[in-house]
Amino acid sequence: MNQDNFRKITPYVPGIQPGFSDMIKLNTNENPYPPSPMVGEASKNFDAGSLRLYPSVDVGPLRDALAEYHGYDRECMFIGVGSDDVLATVFQACFNSGRPVLFPEITYSFYEVWARLYNINTCKIPLKEDFTIDADAYIGVDNGGIVIANPNAPTSVAMAKSEIERIIKNNTDNVVVIDEAYVDFGGESVIDLVKSYDNLIVVRTFSKSRSLAGARIGYCVANPALISVIEAVRNSINSYTDNRPAIELGVASVKDEDYFRATIKKVVATRERLADELKKLGFRVLPSSANFVFAQPPAGISAVEVYEELAKKHIYVRHFNIKGIDNYLRITVGTDEQIDTMLSEVGRLLNK
């Protein structure tokens, strides 16, 4: 066959998913706790007979539930198959000017993959030395859009809402995407700023704080004019995306605010303990507002060595072979028991 037919591209590589039954999986930022019991209830009551029909074309009930939850009209909501699907659609829909789209040099590495896929020019802005994002570097710069993860990944470091607002209001010609995948664990959300800025898109996911990674639900909130641009692209790819189970289980999750808050509280408490213990072991730990920590091992052992030794014990954390962070590990907050096992293994490695 003619090879010129084929798109050549280097895809994003997610954390490995080995199948060991005894593994401790701290490498994809999943929630260690199950979703709300109301989700379990909705699953038990799900009418499999309804599957013969397509889902509602605009993700009706889930869109309504999320609109009500955030206090926006349904016209401000767009739902997709995880926040990756939402972000990919936003990239396709909103970054077509030819001017470079700005995002941090160290951030969620899928941004660069989507930019390559859709032939979007980019300009990657270095983080400050303390791994924070420098708002000034995004102001007064010619651009075709801005993408910022808050808290940032894989650093776990959050940005102040006032700083993000400064970026948004100084870039009103172009779209500013704030990816709030981890915001529920301690970041300051800018979702209320959608009321004030028609160039802001705030992206959220059910995969982390709502313990629904396996349901594939993400969404964004933006001005209705922006949402309709995103929807036109979506409806040029696939008319129906979130399936009936995702819609019903998603609605159940949104309705159980108490469980949601309680689960976040547990994860945050474990995170703080994890950070403290790692520091005691000599790690440098960045201040985390997410459900993971980003940590550099003490002198004498490299991040790769820790990663490999833990993997031998079927404990999986994430290492990125990326300049500037290649001596760090991203460790998902698991249950207290998982974290204790991991910490004692790390202590053993360090002879402590």
CA-CA distances (angstroms) from residue 186 to 23, 149, 289?
Answer: 28, 13, 5
Among 32, 100, 154, 187, binds a second copy (CB under 8 A): 32
Q: How far is the CB of 57 from a second copy (least distance, A)?
A: 6
Residue 81 binds a second copy (CB under 8 A): yes
| Helix, strand, coil fractions of the chain, as percent rounded to 5 | 40, 15, 45
Q: How far is 270 from 224, CA to CA, in rounded Å?
A: 39
Residue 30 binds a second copy (CB under 8 A): yes
Cβ atoms of 106 and 153 closer than 8 Å: no
7-24: buried (b, 16+ CB within 10 Å) or exposed (e) per residue?
eeeeeeeebeeeeeeebb
Cβ atoms of 14 and 318 closer than 8 Å: no
Q: Nearer Cβ to a second copy, position 8 or 300?
A: 8
Q: Write the interaction track for a second copy spanning residues 254-293; mark x where CB under 8 A is met and - where it is not.
A: ----------------------------------------
Q: Is 96 left (phi over 0), alpha (psi -120 to 50) or beta?
A: alpha
For a second copy, the binding residues in 122-181 under the rule CB under 8 A are: 144-145, 172-175
Among 160, 233, 281, 343, binds a second copy (CB under 8 A): 233
Q: How far is the CB of 255 from a second copy (least distance, A)?
A: 15
Q: Nearer Cβ to a second copy, position 61 or 287?
A: 61
Cβ atoms of 316 and 310 closer than 8 Å: yes
The one-character DSSP state at 318 is B
For a second copy, the binding residues in 46-75 under the rule CB under 8 A are: 46, 48-57
Per the listing, tokens 């590495």 go with 109
Q: Which stretch in 63-71, 85-93, 127-135, 342-350 sits in contact with a second copy by CB under 8 A?
A: 85-93
Among 18, 73, 116, 128, binds a second copy (CB under 8 A): 116
For a second copy, the binding residues in 87-106 under the rule CB under 8 A are: 88, 92-98
Q: Which stretch in 148-156, 241-249, 291-299, 317-325 sits in contact with a second copy by CB under 8 A?
A: 241-249
